[in-house]
Structure formats: C-alpha cells, structure tokens
Amino acid sequence: MAKLVLIRHGQSLWNLHNLFTGWVDVPLSAQGVQEAIAAGKRLADEKFDVIYTSTLIRAITTAMIVMSENKEGKVPIIQKVNAEKPLDWFKIYSPASEANMIPVHSAWELNERMYGELQGMNKEETAKKFGDAQVKIWRRSYDVPPPQGEALKNTAERTIPWFQKNIEPQLQAGKNILVAAHGNSLRAIIMYLEKLSEAQVLELELKTGEPVVFNADGGKVTRAA
C-alpha cells in the first residue's frame, strides 16, 4: 500500500494581510513556518519516495521544512529543469549520497488558482469596491473567474490531468508521495480522488499547513481515517 500526503502551504505573508495572492510569489509568514514545522512533526515517521511542489516559494518552503523534521534522514533535493547551467553542474557523483536523497519536482500545474486583477488586493476592500455578492461569486463559484483570472474549473483542468499523468502511476507502483501546493490546486485533486460534485468541492476547506493523508491500494485511493 502506498501513501499520498497533500499539504497546503503554511500561512503566507499575504494570507496574514488578507490579500488575494494567486501566482504572486510570496513567502511564508512566521506563523506559516511554525505550521510547516508542526506538520513535519506530525509526518516525521513517514517515508517518502518522491516530493512534488508548485513552483511558488511558499509551497517549496513548506515541503522543505516538513522534511527537516523527518526521521528517515533522507535529503530532499530539488531537481533542476531549464537551469541556468548545464545539468551536469547539479549531478551527484556519490552513489551513497544519491541513494540517500528524495527527488523534489516543481510543477506549474500545481500552482494556486490565478486570481487575475484581484492579485494583491485586500479581500475586504475588494468586497467594498465590487460588492460582497460579486466577490463571493468570484471566490466561491466553480466556473466564474475574476477579471483576467482563473475559476476553480480552470485550475482543475490543468491540475487533474497532471496528477493523472505524473502521480497516479507512481502510487500504483507503490511509491509514497508528498505534494505541497495550494488551496485550490489541492481542492481540485481531492475533488477528483473523492469524486466530489462541483457544489461539494466549493464547500471543501483546506487549512494552511495541515496534511491530508490518503492510502493508495492498487487503483483505489482513499482518505486515511
């Protein structure tokens, strides 16, 4: 049986200030760091074969802090793609060191929902400007995007096919996987795994820094008790 752990990044500085973040690359707040440490302690006994993150620093940092608490002692190492130097600059020449590492892959498909013209705006001020009803539609409808942005439907259309291609085969092969990403990209994955309706996924809330654990047995993936 394989294990899949999904974790929304810890609180970011823009979460702290109640701003729409989307694809803006904002770091964790002090509270977010502590949330990641707490998640790492909770997952300390888990053994991971592969780690995936979005390309955004708040998700990458969360994954690395989580792994700093892991008792297995393996080292998470970010795999370089389209790097500024040839890939042999990043090559590990020690077989022992290579055997003791966990590859970390970043994928833009796991990035947060892109909030378009709302990015960087305060959520309360946005409600005053456009009205509570309109902002609620942008935030909570499945298929109505904010201006120049994505709806949850659009996020699901990039995240779910990526998950099917990259993660499902590894779960079927018995690999234990950690995914550190964002509220909306992870909601899309959970919608797919748990066969949630559009209405049900809108009610799904994921707290910052809190792991959601699934067991994978063959082709069946179920949430752990």
Which position among 109, 112, 150, 182 bears the catalytic label?
112
Which position among 9, 35, 150, 182 bears the catalytic label?
9
Q: For residue 197, how far is the Cα from the chain centroid?
A: 21
Determine the straight-line distance between the first and last CA of the chain, rounded to whole angstroms.
Answer: 15
Rounded-to-integer distance, Cα 7 and Cα 198, Å = 21
3-state SS class at 103? strand
Contact 60/25 with Cβ under 8 angstroms?
no
Rounded-to-integer distance, Cα 71 and Cα 173, Å = 23
> How would DSSP label each residue in 44-82?
TT---SEEEE-SSHHHHHHHHHHHHT-TT--EEEEPPSS
Residue 9 annotated as catalytic: yes
Q: Enter the DSSP assignment of 206.
A: -
Q: Which residues contact 39 (CB under 8 A, 6 or more apart)?
A: 7, 10, 62, 65, 66, 209, 210, 211
Name the residues annotated as catalytic. Answer: 9, 112
